[in-house]
Amino acid sequence: MTQSRDSLISLSDTPYYHCISRCVRRAFLCGNDRYTGQSFEHRRKWMIDRVRYLTDVFSIEIGAYAIMSNHYHLVLYVNESELANLTNNEICERWSTIYSLSPIVARWQKGELSSDAQKEMALSIIAEWRRRLSSISWFMRCLNEFIARKANKEDNCKGRFWEGRFKSQALLDEKALLTCMAYVDLNPIRAKMSASVEESEYTSIFERIHCKSHHAENKQEHCSKPLVKFIGAEHQQNPFGICFSLIDYLELVDWTGRVIREDKRGAVSGKVPALLTTLGLDTETWFTLANDFGKDYHGAIGSLEELALFAEHTGKQWISGKNKLRRIYN
């Protein structure tokens, strides 16, 4: 029996999730259609603009992303502490940027409700909106529906634009998070769309290297949230962020990208990036993960103990790829 996406997410286990959506039809999300010669490159900016817009509305931030020709990857971070600090009026303000406010909530904001029953009803609606603003399912819904309508209008057609529901992977520990982020950032290299990570446009690695995104090119545009930061040794004072050095991460991804591009795994330089040693992974295991992370592991990635807890919290009997993960973590 198919489970809802919300039932596959357990924020008590991890705030980090890898989400993927793929297009249906031969028409492209982005890129050039070799059959018609039509270019859809402009849709990459649609995606970036919409993702950035939604991160300002939702209590969700971006750790990594890659916008490919017929699919995209997002590593999402659910910021529950930010959500907890929002007032009910701030929740209404955020929600109203996407959907219309219900009449009873609009009256509550104006102080026009007299009965306790009406006030309670308005507050219960706001509480539901608060829950949705930390929901990955609602975030992906607001992203995919918007892009599908815009693409169908441009293509002058109706029907499905995405092949189905988005796929999600729970990233249960730092090893899973870093591996997944590198896998996402290296997508254009593996697809031979880019020669180096420095040239891999519409990815988070490009944004981190060049200190700019493809969003808010005009300074008058709304300034959106930055990518989740690498905080290195500062994590003891600042628990929010990725507890590794950005320089170490960039070195690891660049090193991996060069090997993937040249297809010379057997001739790896003897100088292994420091972060790979910190993660406790040998080079062969790392290259396997960097190439196959999104194909071989489903649902959740982490240590066996973390997988067991995640399965318990989400009502699952089994996590796909468990045997492979056992070999990696041991």
163-220 tens-digit pLDDT: 888 999 999 988 889 999 999 999 999 888 888 888 889 999 999 998 865 544 444 4
Q: Report if pTM > 0.95.
A: no
The pair of three-digit structure tokens given for residue 56, joined into one six-digit string: 């300002």
DSSP strand pairing (16-22 vs 167-171):
antiparallel
Strand order of the β-sheet with 71-78 is 60-67, 71-78, 16-22, 167-171, 299-301
Q: CB of 47 within 8 A of CB of 23? A: no
CB neighbours of residue 161 within 10 Å: 21
Cβ(160)–Cβ(24) below 8 Å: yes
If DSSP codes are grouped into helix, strand and coil, which group holds residue 84?
Answer: helix
Q: What is the pLDDT of residue 322?
A: 59
168, 17 in Cβ contact below 8 A?
yes
Domain ranges across the chain: 11-83+134-329, 87-132
Q: What is the pLDDT of residue 194?
A: 86
Residues shown for the chain: 330
* CATH number of the domain located at residue range(s) 11-83+134-329 in this protein: 3.30.70.1290
Question: If you search the block for the tokens 């959740």, which residue do you land on?
Answer: 300
**What's the mean per-residue pLDDT of the chain?**
84
User: What does the pLDDT average to over 210-239?
Assistant: 65
Range of 34-43, 61-70, 252-261, 308-317 with top mean pLDDT: 61-70
Counting residues of the chain whose pLDDT is more than 90, the rounded percentage is: 47
Lowest mean pLDDT among 59-63, 72-76, 174-178: 174-178
- pLDDT band at residue 223 under the 50/70/90 scheme: low
Q: How confident is the model at residue 6 (pLDDT cuts 50, 70, 90)?
A: low
Of residues 179 and 239, more confidence is placed in: 179
Instruction: Give residues with Cβ within 8 angstroms of 111, minimum separation 6.
Output: none
Query: What crossing angle do the helices spanning 116-132 and 88-96 adopt, rounded to 10°?
Result: 60
